[in-house]
């Protein structure tokens, strides 16, 4: 699970509890200007052959946490419950996408979209 907040011109993605250990990260800070789009996606696929784990934990179809190589670029995942997944498309960043589980996807998407529109 990830909590998301906005601090000035930066979106902060803070991993919670054991997810820090599983993903080998505790926090990601992304400038709002580097976020191209954000949307909820309760149907993200976590199957066996869609990605290559580089660092973190992965149980195909069940849990993905960490850095993965996917479709020609790096993607950060922290998802166990797909119903709560959001996708953050990035530009000019180390990762091309973040796929994370949040408690209230619609609220987090609205928060980020509101700040993107204002920046």
Summarised one tens digit per residue, pLDDT across range 58-71 is 988 889 999 999 98
The residues facing 6 across adjacent strands are 11
* CB 38 within 8 Å of CB 116: yes
pLDDT for 1 beyond 70: yes
When pLDDT is averaged across residues 82-99 and rounded to a whole number, the result is 97
What was the pLDDT predicted at 62? Answer: 86
3-state percent helix, strand, coil for the chain, nearest multiple of 5: 20, 50, 30
* CB 69 within 8 Å of CB 58: no
Summarised one tens digit per residue, pLDDT across range 11-57 is 999 999 998 999 999 999 999 999 999 999 998 887 666 778 899 99
Sign of dihedral through CA atoms 52, 54, 58, 64? negative
When pLDDT is averaged across residues 69-86 and rounded to a whole number, the result is 94
């Amino acid at each position: 699970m990830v909590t998301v907040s906005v601090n000035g011109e930066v979106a902060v993605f803070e991993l919670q509890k054991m997810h820090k250990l599983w993903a080998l990260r505790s926090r990601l800070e992304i400038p709002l200007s580097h976020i191209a789009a954000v949307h909820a996606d309760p149907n993200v696929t976590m199957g066996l052959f869609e990605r290559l784990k580089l660092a973190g934990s992965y149980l195909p179809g069940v849990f993905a946490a960490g850095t993965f190589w996917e479709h020609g670029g790096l993607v950060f995942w922290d998802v166990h419950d797909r119903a709560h997944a959001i996708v953050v498309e990035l530009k000019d960043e180390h990762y091309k996408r973040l796929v994370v589980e949040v408690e209230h996807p619609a609220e987090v998407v609205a928060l980020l979209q509101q700040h993107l529109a204002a920046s």
